[in-house]
Amino acid sequence: MSETTVAVVTGASRGAGAGIARALGSHGCTVYVTGRTQKGGAAAESGLSGTIDETAQAVTDAGGRGIAVRVDHGDDEQVREFFERVGREQGRIDILVNNAALIRDEMMGRTRFWEEPINVIDTLNVGLRSSYVATVYAAPLMVPHNRGLVVFTSSSGAVHYAFGPAYGVPKAGTDKMAADMAYDFRDHGIAAVSIWMGSLLTERVRGIIASNPEKFGHILETAETPELTGHVIWALYNDPKLMDRSGRTLIGAELAREYGIKDEGDRQPPSYRELFDVHPVQQYPHVMR
């Protein structure tokens, strides 16, 4: 069984998940990266950049151990089998990052929701529901060890209009899911938090900036790399006061500043609270059980 920190990052073939996985790898973690896109697979043939194999190799190159596992997070049985495999191979999970989401291009335009195909709401399946399912199967690998961290990647779209209901509703649900799961986890030393990421410098966004630096270069002033969230997650996991934050929705840029974490180019990305005067919704202490 592994003695290093064992992390699972879902939806890690590209974008936020890939960056988070790479960052955790730089801290020496064993990182299982899941997704549907792999070398030679049907998804790779679609022309999408990034695969779970490439992310796993990047984790290893960064100093950790990357393990790529193809998982369709819309298939509960595949998810169950995956976590059973992690249990056999590692005996535990220390950090779970729920990042998998099915984002369709049609939901990112300037259309009204009734003008979009119905399947844009599949974000409730692979996005919100899939995070619930993954955490259900991860919990038995975390609870016996009385320490752990479950992270849900989210955004400020949870509290303001962003692209429409197919985007915003799952984000709001994600923040609430972290809060409610934290209550059930609290006697077992496991923290559950939702982290708002800012505008991300993904491979796709970098390409857009490079295509017209004069027009899009300003994005670099406020955007953050996906790796920043990974470094923040690592700092959270090692914070002696982690359980004090459990159940909360946290802004990644604010945590980075608090932990003294700088982003690429020695930048300190601003918080959405500062930029747009938006902040997470407060959860109340009243319990019904």
CA-CA distance, 187 to 19, in Å (whole number)? Answer: 31
Catalytic option among 167, 183, 237, 272: 167
- Contact present, 50 and 13 (Cβ < 8 Å): yes
- CB distance 129 to 58 below 8 Å: no
Residues in the chain, total:
289
User: 70 in helix, strand or coil?
Assistant: strand
Q: Around Cβ 173, how many Cβ atoms within 10 Å?
A: 21
> What is the C-alpha to C-alpha distance for residues 141 and 144, in angstroms, rounded to an integer?
7
Q: Identify the residue whose tokens are 């270069």.
A: 217
Two tokens, residue 55: 């992310």
Stretch (H or E) spanning 257: helix 252-259
Verify whether residue 167 is a known catalytic residue: yes
Best CA proximity match to 204, nearest among 216, 192, 190, 194: 216
The residues that are catalytic are 167
